[in-house]
């Protein structure tokens, strides 16, 4: 019974953390688009820190909750409601798109920094405050993982738009990948070499924040 209650409590914390992290990611896209003069995200109510304005009922809540509470044996996945942009300024459209695309992962890095600072300056006891410490560490690696995963250059991930705008993909190649992107991602994340590559990227991006935590402590 205690294990069931603990599982539910920690699962609830994980789901809250994921909703916040995905919401901040999408807010980053919307905020940068607004800063670059694109009126569409503000018109649609996306320039807000309210995470539920960016939540997709299936991708942000239902599927992650299923994976957290029922533990089907897969890694935790989730996605938010995509921020729609119009890129109205033809002269700066390419750079606007690059800035908007990078702003999402950048917000996850900001959250990594905030969590590491809270951990370092909070002087938490590893025993008495174990849940808080676990929550902060999980938050750091979750957000580091969101950055690494979103920079994969396969549509609909952010890395694919960067590849397009940096000239690594032609429009035709981007559209072709977009049609098959979901299937390609499903195949890739089940290949051991790709899993090892993602794991390496996660450690490389997540561990420096733990080092900052220890430095501040």
Predicted local distance difference test score (pLDDT) of residue 74:
53
* pLDDT, mean of residues 5-25: 90
Predicted local distance difference test score (pLDDT) of residue 75:
60
Predicted local distance difference test score (pLDDT) of residue 161:
96
Cα–Cα distances (Å) from 199 to 158, 204, 206, in that order, read 19, 9, 10
Alpha-carbon gap, residue 6 to 9, rounded angstroms = 5
Binning pLDDT at 50, 70 and 90, where does residue 3 land? low
Predicted local distance difference test score (pLDDT) of residue 68:
84
Cα–Cα distances (Å) from 63 to 4, 55, 77, 135, in that order, read 20, 12, 8, 20
**Residues with catalytic roles:** 26
Nearest to residue 112, comparing CAs of 204, 6, 36, 15?
A: 204
Domain boundaries, the chain: 2-216
* pLDDT, mean of residues 62-88: 83
Alpha-carbon gap, residue 114 to 21, rounded angstroms = 12
Asked whether residue 61 carries a pLDDT value surpassing 80, the answer given is: yes
The residues, ordered by sequence, that sit 6+ positions from 34 with a Cβ below 8 Å of its Cβ are 41, 42, 47
Share of the chain above pLDDT 90, in %: 77
Q: What is the pLDDT of residues 177-202, one digit of tens each?
A: 999 998 998 889 889 999 999 999 99
Give SS3 for 213. Answer: helix
* pLDDT, mean of residues 35-52: 97
Alpha-carbon gap, residue 108 to 97, rounded angstroms = 18
């Amino acid at each position: 019974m205690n294990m069931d209650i603990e599982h539910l409590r920690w699962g609830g914390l994980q789901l809250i953390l994921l909703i916040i992290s995905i919401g901040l990611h999408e807010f980053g896209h919307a905020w940068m688009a607004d800063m670059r003069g694109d009126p569409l995200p503000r018109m649609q109510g996306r320039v807000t820190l309210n995470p539920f304005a960016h939540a997709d009922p299936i991708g942000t809540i239902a599927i992650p909750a299923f994976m957290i509470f029922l533990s089907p044996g897969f890694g935790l996945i989730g996605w938010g409601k995509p921020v729609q942009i119009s890129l109205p300024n033809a002269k700066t459209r390419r750079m606007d798109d690059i800035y908007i695309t990078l702003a999402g992962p950048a917000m996850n890095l900001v959250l990594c920094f905030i969590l590491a600072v809270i951990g370092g300056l909070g002087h938490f006891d590893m025993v008495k405050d174990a849940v808080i410490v676990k929550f902060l560490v999980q938050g750091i690696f979750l957000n580091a993982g969101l950055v690494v995963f979103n920079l994969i250059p396969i549509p609909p991930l952010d890395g694919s738009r960067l590849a397009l705008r940096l000239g690594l993909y032609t429009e035709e190649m981007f559209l072709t990948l977009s049609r098959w992107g979901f299937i390609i991602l499903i195949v890739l994340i089940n290949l051991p070499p790709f899993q090892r590559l993602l794991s390496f990227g996660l450690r490389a991006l997540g561990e420096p924040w733990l080092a900052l935590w220890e430095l501040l402590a």
